[in-house]
Amino acid sequence: MVGFSKMEEQKGHTSMRYQPLGNTGISVPVLSFGASPLGNEFGVADEAECTRAVHRAIDLGITCFDTSPYYGRGLSEERLGRALKGRRQQAVITTKCGRYDTATFDFSAERVQRSTDESLGRLQTDYVDVLFAHDVEFGDPMQVIEETIPALRDVQRQGKARAIGITGFPVALLHTIAAAAPVDAIMSYCRYNLLMDDLASALAPFCQQQGIGLFNASPLHMRVLSEKGPPDWHPAPAEVKAVARAVLASCQQHGASIEDVALQYCLRWQGAATTVVGMSKSAHVESNVAAMEGVASEALLAEIAQLVEPVKNRAWACGRPENDNFRWPLAAESEARHAH
């Protein structure tokens, strides 16, 4: 396991910055490698190029890699494991359990243990740095609190994970679960970028107070904020996608890359330990690292903010409908206890 000083020594030739992941003792780069594209989640990726991307990332100081058995139904983990062969000690690996297909979820303790062992096999390692329960909004919050998180702690005690956490889209639900069952790290996606920023108010202060490492994933809003545009399956409302196209036009008028501006916007925020962006090509890695050196103009950011204002923080339904009322039954139980 590589400590902060060792990683700094190895990456001394780069401009990458590292930050502590909450109270875990793990150090992460401010920019992390999202490995879902390695599982062909955004189109077919060439494995040889994926391997080059992983190696180039490490060379440039991007040492944290986020994957899941859900990404490519194991393919992302397999490709990442092969790419990191011989370089595992230079990497921080985060993976997940609980979600296995579009509509296949299992947050039981037995599945947590079995999933962990399966992931370790695909990743060709005997431990991961962070093991998350994946997309908890699709599960029963009480099961996640009473069964899943304790099972993750068992995995941690076995030495198969250095830290444990939860991931999901609804930040309020993540807050509620973590307040009831302490975790080491939380990852949310699409909740802090040019289109949404409620991660900063609804979750970041709690994480800072509790010493929880916060991952901000999808700075491009799952490619809505990209020149190519979002994939067909993207759940954002049509009006949000329309505004994103206007943001693209504004960036082009200013001679700026929308991807660079979106990434720079996230990286200047101090509320998260790291920002996770999907990559599958060495060119992606180099472009993202280069973007870190730039600063979006205040005039452009002001123009974007004005464009985005009508749809700011416009989310979409995600997970079980009953989880939208995220305070039940936890808040009701708490209120009942205080009433007595």
Question: Is residue 46 exposed (0-12), middle (13-18) or buried (19+ Cβ within 10 Å)?
Answer: exposed
100 is catalytic: no
CB 17 within 8 A of CB 29: yes
The interaxial angle of helices 298-308 and 258-267, nearest 10 deg, is: 100
Annotated active-site residue in 18, 70, 71, 127: 71
Structure tokens at 247: 């943001």
Q: How many beta carbons lie within 10 A of that of residue 137, not counting itself?
A: 22
CB 308 within 8 A of CB 195: yes
> Closest by alpha carbon to 182, among 212, 154, 227?
212
CB 256 within 8 A of CB 296: yes
DSSP string, 149-211: HHHHHHHHHTTSEEEEEEEES-HHHHHHHHHHS--SEEEEESSSSSS--HHHHHTHHHHHHHT
> Closest by alpha carbon to 186, among 98, 273, 92, 309?
273
Query: Alpha carbon 180 to chain centroid distance?
Result: 22
Active centre residues (catalytic): 71
